[in-house]
């Protein structure tokens, strides 16, 4: 089974013309790494010194890229939720980048 990343734009919610494909992956785990990298890139690029995690989460909800993992056939696999990932990752990114700025 192969997995594909389809990336939607939260700023253009439900506008299929703004979505794009971001590769084909041999395993779900590889696709998951790709999906998380897309979200992490947005969070790191949009973080500003002193920014709180909740502000970064709101920014993602309005403007972030929202990857979904699609299998090429039916089967059991974990569902990736960028919203859930952002909720946990935003605090980690804020802490990491704030530390880097201050040291």
Q: Does pLDDT of 96 surpass 80?
A: yes
What 79-83 contacts at long range (C-beta under 8 Å, 24+ apart), as own/partner pairs, is 80/31, 80/32, 80/35, 82/35, 82/39
| Spatial distance between the Cα atoms of 25 and 46, rounded to a whole number of angstroms | 27
Structural domains counted in the chain:
1
For helices 82-102 and 28-46, what crossing angle results, to 10°? 50
Please give the residue range of the domain that contains residue 68.
Answer: 3-102
Band of residue 10 on the pLDDT scale cut at 50, 70, 90: confident
Q: Mind listing the pLDDT tens digit for each residue in 24-77?
A: 999 999 999 999 999 999 999 999 999 999 999 999 999 999 999 998 777 677
Cβ atoms within 10 Å, residue 31: 25
pTM: 0.88
């Amino acid at each position: 089974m192969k997995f594909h990343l389809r990336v939607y734009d939260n700023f253009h919610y439900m506008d299929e013309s703004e979505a794009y494909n971001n590769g084909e992956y041999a395993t779900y785990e590889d696709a998951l790494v790709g999906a998380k990298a897309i979200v992490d890139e947005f969070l790191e690029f949009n973080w500003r010194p002193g920014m709180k995690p909740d502000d970064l989460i709101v920014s993602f909800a309005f403007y972030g890229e929202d990857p979904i993992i699609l299998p090429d056939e039916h089967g059991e696999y974990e569902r990736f939720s960028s919203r859930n990932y952002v909720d946990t990752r935003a605090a980690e990114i804020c802490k990491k980048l704030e530390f880097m700025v201050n040291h």
